Every structure is written in structure tokens, then in C-alpha cells.
Copies of this chain bind each other. A is one copy, B any other.
Amino acid sequence: MVTTQAASVLRGSPYRADCPTRRILDRIGDRWTVLIVGALSDGSARFSELRRRVEGISQKMLTQTLRGLERDGIVSRTVHPEVPVRVEYALTEAGRTLREPLRALEEWSIAHLGDVSASQKAYDRED
């Protein structure tokens, strides 16, 4: 989507496809972005190290997500032309400022995980 529909959607009010929040959410909502930003919060890391930190991610998704983050200026990519190539990834300044809102979300998650789980169980039991 966001192809032919995009044009017609652009008319609208808030909560629209062109809304900045929407743009960012499309990025951070992709399941891996937050994990990668989190993994890089401790400091820079190379490709294989990231792959180990973000357990469960495939090589394809790691590459793809990193490209997107690099494109958005959230992550920097540095190639060291050594014998076996070494590539370092790190948060940019913008990336570091993103940690705060993400942490807020994480704290909410931790604080409400119990409530959410309980609510889910209650919902599934009846109905």
C-alpha cells in the first residue's frame, strides 16, 4: 500500500499517512528497529555482534533494517577495509535522542505487562 492510495489520503486531517508520527511508526513498528536501537544503546557493534545481540533476527532482516535506519540517519555505518572486512554500526546523535521515547515506551510495557496479560486472559475466558 501507500502506493495508489497515498495520493487520495494526502487530502486529510490528522492521523494521516503523511503525518510525521505515522512515518516514524512505520519505521519503529517493524519489529526489529527498537531491538536494534536497544542493542546499539550499549555502544557500537559490528554486524555479527548485532546479529548475536538481537537474537532471532535473520541476516536479511538485520541488513534490511540497518539500511533503513542508516537512511533515516539514526544509525551510522563505518566500513573498516581490513583483511576480513569489519563494519561498525553505531547510533547517530539523532539515534541517541530516540532512546528516551523508546525507553518511556519500554517502561510502560514493563509496568503494564501484568495488566495486559490479565486482561487478555479474562477476555479469552469468557465471550
Taking a contact as CB atoms under 8 Å apart, the answer to whether B108 and A1 are in contact is no
Query: Given B14, B29, B101, B110, which contacts A21 in the complex, CB threshold below 8 Å?
Result: B110
From known contacts A12-B55, A97-B108, A105-B105, infer whether A119 and B21 are also in contact, taking CB-CB under 8 Å. Answer: no
Contact, CB under 8 Å: B119 / A72: yes
Q: Is the beta-carbon distance between A55 and B16 smaller than 8 angstroms?
A: yes
Given A29-B28, A71-B123, residue A116 in contact with residue B23 (CB < 8 A) = yes
Whether A108 contacts B71 by the Cβ 8 Å rule is: no
**Are the CB atoms of A113 and B25 closer together than 8 Å?**
no
Question: Which of A12, A22, A29 counts the most chain B CB atoms within 10 A?
Answer: A29
- 19 contacts across the A-B interface (CB closer than 8 A): A12-B55, A13-B55, A14-B38, A15-B53, A21-B38, A21-B106, A23-B116, A24-B105, A24-B113, A24-B116, A29-B29, A71-B124, A73-B116, A73-B118, A73-B123, A94-B112, A97-B112, A100-B104, A101-B108
- Interface, chain A (partner B; CB < 8 A): 1-2, 5, 9, 12-17, 20-26, 28-31, 34-35, 38-39, 53-56, 70-74, 94, 97-98, 100-102, 104-110, 112-113, 115-116, 118-120, 123-124
